[in-house]
Amino acid sequence: MSDDYDNSDPPVQLFAKRKKVYQRAVEGIYRRRKWIALRVCLLIYYLAPFIRWDRGPHAPDQAILIDMEGRRAYWFFIEIWPQEVYYLTAILIFAAVMLFFVTALFGRVWCGYFCFQTVWTDLFMWVEKVVQGDRAERMRLDAAPWSLNKLARKVITHTAWIGVSLLTGGAFVLYFNDAPTLLHQLVTGQLGSTVTIFILALTASTYLMAGHAREQVCTYMCPYARFQSGMFDTDTLIVTYDAQRGEPRGKHKKGESWDNRGHCIDCTQCVQVCPTGIDIRNGLQLSCIACGLCIDACDSVMDKLDLPRGLIRYETDRNLRAQPKGAIVTKAPKLRLVRPRTVYYAIVLLLLGAVVIYNLATRVMVELHVVHDRNPLFVTLSDGQVRNGYELNILNKDLQPHRYRVELVGLPDGQLLLRGTGEDEVTEIEAPANDSSRFRAFVQAPKAKANQTDITFKLIPLDGAPAAQHDSVFISGGVR
Ligand code: SF4
Ligand code: SF4
């Protein structure tokens, strides 16, 4: 090893211990908007499972329901069967592109105002503040030795958190069951073990994520935080510290001149109110969820100093660069909403939306699927005729039962025998409403020259229902 190798630098630390964030309460326009968003999100979350939607006697009347037992997903007038899972995929892609679109326009507005993690963390922080006091009081309490007062405050906080978590987990399962029935079971202690396990798991995850992990979810766990920079451009709205106006920063005494210095008085209010504990004056960071609370904090400081608001503000990079030197910006930012990136996203959204709407509007309500028996493929009867067996699966997505006659096409000498669910021979079949039904079918015909004949099974409606058909084959030889 070379003698001049310098090993005096300390080893690089790959693990940084978390510094607990003690968020200070703040008042202001963005804080008010966040409270409104929180109330709206919680109201929707807790009340949506109780909205009723009459679908008739053959389907549940819960407007939003993922019925695992019945293998259906319901969203108001839309009903999705397991075979139509591509609708869910399309809806998820639509939601993702919508998120990209909104992010390209307004930055991380979803993260700052509507994300579940943000909403529940805000709620948990509010509980903490009510029980343990604001930032300074909480810091003192944590630093103080254990006492009855400290124990009581901690126990009340965690009990309240667990209560909120239980309500969160309890509400989530309402989306998978009939909400009023489940609520009744919950109150009367008749819940099944599976539902109970789900509630407890969701309670635990809410308590851990909103009570303990908090900003670490946004900084380290959320994949969206990692790739959102790909959606940003110079016209995306971001929370910005106007360094040109704020620097050089420094303490300021009342009556002192503002000449030759910046407007930032280094009070760190913007850092203290930040739920992720960052200093926005260091520039845009991965941990910034664009909640705007630092704007509220700084605006109130500027008000007290009798300086114009907007040292920290929502702004675009383009506007910031175009700002004349020494200018003080107090107006809302000029936004360039129409630009290539937003146009691409809008086109994708429109196309995707049109495809989903078209497919839903032209949705086939009755489907017939025919599966040929694999073993044996055919049997030769004592009179020399050949017989093939089939399974007919009818999916009736309609909310009315339908009656059908089954017709065989493509085999003029063929004879079709149908068996109902009770193994009895039938001439008509009934497809129950909003359900799938299976029937056995046999086709019998004299042995033909060709080993295989293409045939079609047709469902001929007897009550004005939609028709359906499915192609299959009649095999009469050539297969060992
Ligand atoms: S709140 Fe405003 S004045 Fe205070 S440190 Fe932050 S940027 Fe500077
Ligand atoms: S820096 Fe400001 S906008 Fe970003 S997370 Fe902190 S308080 Fe919210």
The DSSP secondary-structure symbol of 211 reads I
3-state secondary structure string across 337-353: CCCHHHHHHHHHHHHHH
Pocket of ligand 2 (CB under 6 A): 239, 273-276, 278, 280, 288-294
Nearest CA to ligand 2 atom 7: 274
- Write out the residue limits of the CATH 2.60.40.10 domain(s) in the chain: 366-475
Q: Under 8 Å CB-to-CB from 224, ≥6 apart: which residues? A: 99, 111
Print pLDDT tens along the chain (480 aa).
445 555 566 666 777 778 899 999 999 999 999 999 999 999 999 999 999 999 888 889 999 999 998 889 999 998 999 888 888 899 899 999 999 999 988 889 999 999 999 999 999 999 999 999 999 999 999 999 999 999 999 999 999 999 999 999 999 999 999 999 999 998 898 989 999 999 999 999 999 999 999 999 998 888 888 877 778 889 999 999 999 999 999 999 988 999 999 999 999 999 999 999 999 999 988 889 999 999 999 999 999 999 999 999 999 999 999 988 888 888 888 889 999 999 999 999 999 999 999 998 998 999 999 999 998 999 999 999 999 999 999 999 998 899 999 999 999 999 999 987 667 788 889 999 999 999 999 999 998 778 899 999 999 999 888 899 999 999 988 765
Nearest CA to ligand 1 atom 1: 298
CB 339, CB 363: distance < 8 Å? no
Distance 292 CA to ligand 1 centre (A): 13
CB 477, CB 447: distance < 8 Å? yes
Pocket of ligand 1 (CB under 6 A): 241, 246, 264-270, 281, 297-298, 301, 311-312
Closest ligand, as measured to the CA of 31: 2
Q: In whole angstroms, what is the distance from residue 301 CA to residue 294 CA?
A: 11
Q: Two tokens at 204? A: 């635990």
Strands 435-446 and 415-419: antiparallel
- Nearest partner of 305 among 345, 269, 334, judged by Cα: 269
Sign of CA dihedral 109, 115, 121, 125: positive
Distance 305 CA to ligand 1 centre (A): 11
Q: In whole angstroms, what is the distance from residue 339 CA to residue 233 CA?
A: 10
Distance 267 CA to ligand 1 centre (A): 5
Secondary structure of residue 64 in the 3-state scheme: strand
User: Among the atoms of ligand 1, which is closest to the Cα of residue 268?
Assistant: 5
Closest ligand, as measured to the CA of 283: 2
CB 473, CB 455: distance < 8 Å? yes
Q: In whole angstroms, what is the distance from residue 26 CA to residue 274 CA?
A: 10
As a CATH number, domain 366-475 is: 2.60.40.10
CB 430, CB 385: distance < 8 Å? no
Nearest CA to ligand 1 atom 8: 264
User: Among the atoms of ligand 2, which is closest to the Cα of residue 292?
Assistant: 3
